[in-house]
Amino acid sequence: MQILIELIAYTLGAGALTVLGLFSEYSGLQHLTGGEPILGVWFAAFGCIMLYAGTYLLGYEQVIRRALDG
């Protein structure tokens, strides 16, 4: 039962980081096209980091591997 709870927690965390990363990428695009390039690049870089953390570090490394192992 504890493995299922951990899997759900990792899934929710991966989903939250991925959604926040997408919003950050969108905000970066809006700032880049709105004439604020430094802030736009910062948001885009932060979005990339969050997408990487959500999809790979939590999504692939934790959720998929634990689901396939157990």
Q: What pLDDT digit, counting tens, does each position of 41-61 carry?
A: 999 999 999 999 999 999 998
Q: For residue 47, how many other CB atoms are within 10 A of its CB?
A: 20
CA distance 16 to 28: 18
pLDDT tier, 24 (very low <50, low <70, confident <90, very high otherwise): very high
Question: Is 27 in contact with 67 (CB distance < 8 Å)?
Answer: no
Q: Is the dihedral of CA 12, 17, 21, 24 positive or negative?
A: positive
Global pTM reads 0.85
Backbone angles phi, psi at 4, to 5 degrees: -65, -40
